[in-house]
Amino acid sequence: MPDYRRVWCPGGTYFFTHALAHRHGNDLLVRHVDLLRQAVRKVRGVHPFHIHAWVVLPDHLHCVIELPHGDARYALRWRLIKLIFSRSLTREDRPTAVQERRGEKGIWQRRYWEHLIRDERDFRQHIDYVHINPFKHGLVQCVGEWPYSTFHRLVEQGIYPADWAGEPDAEALPYDD
């Protein structure tokens, strides 16, 4: 078994990827995006964090979040988000008896990918990665077409142009040096 270690940085900004246990052809996250949003709101109410970027795809999600000063408990937040979301699903969206017999207890993969953001360039690259993902996976012709993303909020704030990524004239990323 690999020696897996996580980086714990109080007040840190992190990039995360979380995926469903059964990804192929699974649209559970977008089908129940409102339940996922509710779970995130509930957890943020008790264990605050700032969302810099977030995208929900059919079978996985990416985000960049910042923890409060002195707090490094991102694992607690993710455990609660996944738990609240999973428990809010109807019976047909939960694992079947066969899956449970095989030890497949949840809808989420057991592990997730986290990356501590190191500097401004790293931050910008991960924000772009989050938002380009629906285009990268062929879900849309232009990033702005994907509804489950903070991209739209960042367009309103003037950080991205509305036609960023996917349009013939939008070759450069907004943070390119």
pLDDT averaged over every residue in the chain: 88
Q: What is the pLDDT of residue 97?
A: 60
Tell me the pairing of strands 50-56 and 60-66: antiparallel
Question: What residues contact residue 161 under an 8 Å CB cut-off, 6+ apart?
Answer: 155, 170, 174
pTM of the model: 0.85
Residue 23 pLDDT grade (very low, low, confident, very high; cuts 50, 70, 90): confident
- Tell the CATH superfamily of the 13-118 domain: Transposase IS200-like (3.30.70.1290)
Q: What is the pLDDT of residue 25?
A: 80
Quick check: is 4 catalytic? no
- d(C-alpha 156, C-alpha 29), whole Å: 25
Which residue in 4, 14, 112, 148 is the catalytic one?
148
- d(C-alpha 40, C-alpha 89), whole Å: 15
Q: What is the pLDDT of residue 68?
A: 98
Q: What is the pLDDT of residue 22?
A: 86
Contact 131, 165 (CB under 8 A): yes
pLDDT in tens, 37-73: 999 999 999 999 999 999 999 999 999 999 999 999 9
Instruction: Please name the helix (run of DSSP H) or strand (run of DSSP E) that holds residue 52, with its range, or none.
Output: strand 50-56
